[in-house]
Each structure stands twice: as structure tokens, then as C-alpha cells.
A and B are shown apart, each in its own frame.
Chain A
Amino acid sequence: MKQLELPPSRSPSARRPLLSRSLFNAMLALLLASGAGCKKTESEAAPGATGSASAASSAPLTVGFVYVGSRSDYGYNQAHAKAASQLQGVKLREEENVPETVAVQKTMESMINLDGAKVLFPTSFGYFDPHILALANKYPDVSFLHCGGLYSEGKHPKNVGSYFGYIDEAEYVAGIVAGSTTKTKKLGFIAAKPIPQVLRNINAYTLGARSVDPTVTVSVIFTGDWSLPVKEAEAANSLVDQGVDVLTAHVDSPKVVIESAERRGVFSTGYHASQAELAPKGYLTGAEWNWEKVYSAYIDKIKKGEPWEHLVRGGIKEGFVKLSPYGEPVAEETKKKADAAKAGLEAGTLVIFKGPLSSNDGKQILAAGESRGQTDIELEKMSYLVEGVKGAIE
């Protein structure tokens, strides 16, 4: 069969030199093309290069970080990468854009087998089950420290730890700033998915805003996934068109939302990391992770050979989360209100979720006098939007 398909009339005149001129030209063009695209890549590569350069000290602990997106996303991954870059006296190995598939298992295994990593920080929520659990059983000498707070005693391997922060505290304070600054009394929140963690942030933000002005509303748009820049930009523009004048987001990278807000001349509050430099005019403040503190604490303990805690959580008081420095448009009076709330959260006197509290579809969540403290496990099953939020969970 195969031979029947041979081109029927390849006359000897069709013979050509092995490397003809046109092929050579094509190769040259490709070389040039790849050279032209190179400048940008080089500068992108710079942050990673500093990591391997610090590996000079004698036999340091090798620590691997795995990110689900880009290390310079102005968001979730950057918050982790920044903390990683500040670790002292370790050999840092980082890998970005690792999907939550078997790829992350192999990345971790590769870090263990080829780089000699003893501590791994796989930072995406979705890495935990089944990926980290599968490898933790296979490599009992390696410590797997995961961001998400999913560890449960007795059920999960001993070499696994999980940490998370009560970032709704910072969202509450950011809500106070947004609610005090808005002129139209309409805030906009662009969120990925209606899961408990996201709902808690939206609700805390709304409660913060309405604590200073009960007429403020928060319009929510769910985009459906963690990184959909086009949808996020569309949602931002649509919200501004509806009269919203402060935008915030809970997606992997709020970059697009913050930039869109700045372009449209409205205010914004950030999330995950500081986006202040993206919006010098309109950036009010933002809820940021402060993983530096968590990571250095873990590494110190591991270096000294001390046992570390399997489940670590904290909020503003513990330094797990923080607020971006106030932007220029924030009034002095607003700063005072926000600082007072921050002090209340630090002292434990301010409770975000307390009665009377009802959902935006009229159901009572907490009766007057009831309250749910920060560590209350019920808050982690949140499935409602509080009164004042415009939007619905499908």
C-alpha cells in the first residue's frame, strides 16, 4: 500500500541540493525572529535568576516553590513569589505556570529527585488533593507546606502542613475605605467563582463598607474562573457603566480590573498583592497576603529541626495579612476609621460576622446578639451573599 502512494512522477530533474537556498533563508529568518522576541523574555527571566544566584552558601536547605500562574501576575502568585524571594540562607527553586494536573506531581518529584529539595511550597489551592497527598506518602522525608488550610489531623500524612490567612479581615478594612470614598454609593466586586472563600471576602468587604454608610451597595460579577482577563475587563467596564466608582476583585490576578478602573477614572482596592503602581491615581488600599512571615517561620523551624505546626492560620493580628498603604485619594477621616477597625481586629474586639445579619435574598443568617468569630468553622461553608450585595449565586 505504502509504495502505491509514492508520488507518481518524481523525475530526476526534481532533485535538489540537500540544503537549498530558500530553506537556508527560512532558517535565518527564524533565527532573527527568535532574537527579536528575546529582549522581553530576558527581563522576565531576571527575578528567577536571582533565586539561583543566592545558592552560593554551603549546602543550604533546598526549598521548592510551585506556582499555578505567572510569578509576576500582580496577584496570588506574585504574593507567594515575593515572600519566597525574601527567604534567607536557602537554595530556592521555583517553577511557575504549573497546572493542577499530574504535572504538579512531576514538578514536585523533579524538585525532590533532581534538585534535592527537602521542603516544598506548592502554593495553589488545587494542588492539595490528590497531588500533594499522593507525593507526601511517597516521600516521607520531604515537608509539603500547602497554602489553603486543608490539613486535617489523622487523615493526612504527617509531613504535610497547610496554612491560610483570614484575609476577609483586610477585606473588611478595605471595604471601610471604599465605602467612605465612594461618591455614587456603588461599589463593584469582580469575583471568580461563588465558593465559600470568595463569598466570605465579598461579604466582609460589603459589611465593612456598610459599617460606615448603610446606603452603599456592592455589585458582584462572577467570571467563572480564576484567570479570565478579557471577561474581567468586560465586567469592570460594565460595572463602571452602571455607576460603580470603586472596583475590586477576587481573581488570581486583579491586574486587569485595577488597570481598567484607573483607565475609566474610578477608584480601586486591590487583592493578593499591592497593585498600587498600576493605578497611581485611583488605588485606595488593598487586602494583601503577608506570606513572608509564614514562610520564614516555617523555614526557621525546619532548619533548627524543630517540629512545625500542621495547620497555621492567622489574620491581621498574626501578620498573615496586611493592607496596602493608603493611596492619595483616601481622606484623613477615612484613614482614622480604617485604622480603628484594624486596631479592633488586632485586639479581637471587632467581629465581622455578627447579628443581625441577613442574606441578600432575605434569609436570616444570624439573629441579633449572635456572632461568628474569625475561627468559627461555619464561616468556611459560607453559601450566601449578605444584604447590600447586588448579585446572586447560581
Chain B
Amino acid sequence: MTASAPLALEPPGKSWAQRILPAALRWCEGLLPTLMALGITVLAFGAFVALAGHNPLEVYAEMYRGAFGTWFSFQNSLLRAAPLMLTGLCTALPARLGLMVIGGEGALVVGGMAAAASAAALRGAPPSLVIAGMMLGSMLAGGVWIGAAGALRALRGVNETIGSLLLSYIGIALFNHLVEGPFRDPASLNKPSTPPIGEANMLGNLPGLDVHVGLAFGILACIACHVLMEHTVFGFSARVVGGNPRAARLSGLRVPSLIIITCAIAGSAAGLAGMVEVAAIHGNANASLMAGYGYAGILVAFLARHNTIAILPVALLLGGINASGGLLQRTFGLPDAAVSVLQGIAFVVLLASETYRGRLRLSRAPS
């Protein structure tokens, strides 16, 4: 911790620019590995596209058009980013404690199921109450799901990666059982679904946007988690656990409850994503909920380096890539997998670029 000494000892009386500039440079240094990784990704995917017989510049121009180039495209990207923000949190939050949770998909589907069940239980109540009930129910279910993985880790030493993944399979199996069995709407003949939650209880769009309220949930959740993790005693304690669990325990932190609570918060974010799918899009719970948002969230969390605010731009970037994927297929006849190739390259390069964190310098190192 003595490292802060040189920073604190900056001589007073320096001009505004002299003080801001090094800080700005340091901030840029933090971004540098990520920017370089993105640059390398662009080059590598460009080469891939060129080898597939297309002009990379044209492809990138088209991708830009499909992702951000028009107002429609931008809203399309925002809409696709919304669930990724919430499922990204499901992996990013436990990662701050050094835990690798990958069961967001399971938390999402149990959250969606809980939302549908809450709506059914509150049938006839005013819409605001039903929506609040669906939110609470979904967050509770998702929280219990990932919280259970956290509890298994904290109390029984079960590896949380495997634990959350297996719980995810159980959640999906339970979901399928309920949708095709006891909780099936008899009217849903060839597409088994739960009874509709009712048109009045659907989440609408954000004012002036063609994007549902789920986007606001995602942004608010990311900001709330940022405040929690960076500006509260709880968040500080959690990060201490992430730094060294034994040291945390020795300094009197209640490590198991920190783990369980953080995992529960993470799970409730994914559960809320399930509720958004049900209440903003499908109007009921059915197998279409399992669209892989939970797994894509892992990618988002890693690309954001588990920084809950960085999840926002990363989710938007991935949303944009997904939004433009269709245009690549349609305009160039590139296979659907092209987008997966791009995401795969980005993932690998970004992880590899972590080795360069702190080694690339724009400013002179403090002497």
C-alpha cells in the first residue's frame, strides 16, 4: 500500500494541466491493452473476411451500418445489449471475489419461470403490482439459484464453476418440466408455454425509443452494482476476499456470507433478465427463453474485465456485433458463424492482452 506514496507526494502548486495530464495518460494506459486487442481483432477478422472472398472494408462498413449506422440499427444494438448487461453481472460480480460463476443461463430461466408464476399468482391485481411481483419473484429465484452455488462453495467447498453450471442444467430441466407439464397452458398446442401474463402486465418501451424497459433495468443494475462494489464497505470487503480469501478471513471478514450474498445478487440480475424476456417480449415463459443470453453474459463479463460499468459499453458492442450479423449474412452471404468467429477472436485476443496490462506506458513511470 506504500505504492500510493509517490502519488500523494506530488508537489503542490503544479498547474491544472500538469496535474490532469498524467492522470489522463494513466487512464489511457489502462485502456491501451483493450484498444490494442480490439485493433488486432479487427485486423484478424478482416483477414478472415478477405480470405472468404470479401473486401474487409466493405464488410466493416456494412457492420457499422447494421450496428450503429442508422437510428434503427442503434436501437437494435441497444435492445440486444439489454439482456447481456444483466447476465454479464451474473459472472462479473462473483468474479470480484475470485469466483468463476458460469450458470447465468440457469438463473435466467428460473427467473423467467418465477416471473410467469408470479404473474399467475397475482392474476387480477393492478399491473404495477403484477410487474413488481414478477420482478421480485424473478430476482428471488435467480438469487436463490446462484446463491446456492455460492453457498455450496462457501460452506461445502464445491467448485462454484461446476456447481453453477450443473445448477444451470437442473434449472433448465425444471423449466422444461414445468412448461411442458404442470404449468403448461392447455391452449399452447404446438409450442408449450405457460399461461400468458396478460397484455396489461407487459413491460412497455422506453419513452421515445423502440427499446423495452429492460435496457433501463440493465443500466441501473450495472450502476448500482458499481456503487456497491466500489463505494461501500460491503464492496470493499468483497474485493478483499477476491484479493486473498485467507487474509480476508484473518482480518475478521465473514467470507462465507460475503460470497453467498454476492452470488445471490449476481443471480438476481440474471433472474431479472429472465423476467424481462417474459414480460417485455414473450408474454409467457417458453423454451425460447433459452437463447444463450446467460452464456453470452460470461463473454461480456470477461471482456469488461469484471468491471460492472465497463459491462455497459461491452454489452453494447456485442449487441452491435449481433445486430450486424444478420446484415453480413444477407449482404455478403457470410455464414452465421462469421459473427461467432469475430466474437471468438475478440475473446481470445482480449484475454491474451491482459498480459500487457500495466506494461504499456504512455507517460513516464513515476520516478
Contact = CB atoms under 8 A, between A and B. Distances in A.
Interface of A: 1, 3-4, 6-12, 14-16, 18-19, 23, 26-27, 30-31, 34-35, 37-38, 41-42, 44-52, 64, 70, 93-103, 106-107, 109-111, 113-115, 125-126, 129-130, 148, 193-197, 224-225, 380-381, 394
Contacts of A125: 190-191
B287 interface: yes
A366 to B, nearest CB: 20
A32 B137 CA distance: 49
Given A26-B352, A106-B79, A114-B327, A195 B44 contact: no
B181 A94 contact: no
Interface in B325-367: 326-327, 329-338, 341, 345, 348-349, 352, 356, 358-361, 364-365, 367
A14 B2 CA distance: 19
A225 B287 contact: yes
A26 B43 CA distance: 12
B75 to A, nearest CB: 9
A202 to B, nearest CB: 14
Interface residues of B, number: 68
A63 to B, nearest CB: 11
Interface stretch (B85-93, B140-148, B276-284, B308-316): B276-284
Contacts of A381: 189
Contacts of B359: 14-16
Given A34-B45, A35-B51, A111-B330, 6 more contacts: A3-B7, A4-B1, A12-B365, A26-B349, A41-B337, A101-B281
Contacts of B332: 45, 49, 52
Contact of A148 (B43, B190, B330): B190
B52 A42 contact: yes
B47 interface: yes
B29 to A, nearest CB: 10
A31 B40 CA distance: 9
A45 B356 CA distance: 36
B66 interface: yes
A30 B344 CA distance: 11
B153 interface: no
A111 B327 CA distance: 8
B169 interface: no
A358 B260 CA distance: 54
A162 B356 CA distance: 56
B268 interface: no
A110 B345 contact: no
A153 to B, nearest CB: 18
B52 A4 contact: no
A99 B296 CA distance: 14
Contacts of A380: 189
Contacts of A102: 79-80, 281
Contacts of A3: 4, 7
A101 B291 contact: yes
B42 to A, nearest CB: 11
Contact of B348 (A9, A30, A96, A195): A30
A126 B79 contact: no
B322 interface: yes
B192 A45 contact: no
Considering the complex of A and B, which 6 residue pairs feature the smallest CB-CB distances, nearest first? A48-B333, A8-B3, A49-B333, A34-B48, A100-B288, A97-B336
Nearest to A195: B190
Chain B, interface SS category: helix
Interface string B1-24: 111100100000000000000000
B282 A52 contact: no
Contacts of A4: 1, 3-4
Given A109-B72, A110-B76, A114-B65, A95 B3 contact: no
A271 to B, nearest CB: 16
Chain A, interface SS category: helix
B232 to A, nearest CB: 11
A152 to B, nearest CB: 12
18 contacts: A3-B7, A8-B2, A14-B359, A15-B359, A26-B352, A34-B44, A35-B47, A35-B51, A41-B52, A41-B335, A41-B337, A48-B333, A49-B332, A101-B277, A101-B288, A115-B330, A126-B191, A129-B191
B259 interface: no
Contacts of A38: 48, 51-52
Contacts of A51: 333
B252 interface: no
B189 to A, nearest CB: 5
A300 B327 CA distance: 27
Contacts of B330: 52, 64, 93-95, 111, 115
Given A8-B3, A31-B47, A103 B322 contact: yes
A52 B348 contact: no
A168 to B, nearest CB: 13
A236 B334 CA distance: 33
B70 A114 contact: yes
Contact of B44 (A30, A109, A115): A30
Contact of B327 (A18, A37, A110): A110
Nearest to A16: B359
A394 to B, nearest CB: 7
Nearest to B62: A114
**Most chain-B Cβ atoms within 10 A of its Cβ — which of A37, A52, A106?**
A106
A52 B326 CA distance: 14
Contact of A126 (B66, B288, B326, B358): B288
A196 B189 contact: yes
A113 B210 CA distance: 14
**Most chain-A Cβ atoms within 10 A of its Cβ — which of B2, B48, B79?**
B48
Nearest to A35: B51
A31 B94 CA distance: 34
Given A38-B51, A126-B288, A394-B181, A15 B361 contact: yes
A50 B333 CA distance: 8
B341 A34 contact: yes
A88 to B, nearest CB: 19
Interface in B33-68: 36, 40, 43-45, 47-48, 51-53, 65-66
Contacts of A34: 44-45, 47-48, 51, 341, 345
A70 B337 CA distance: 10
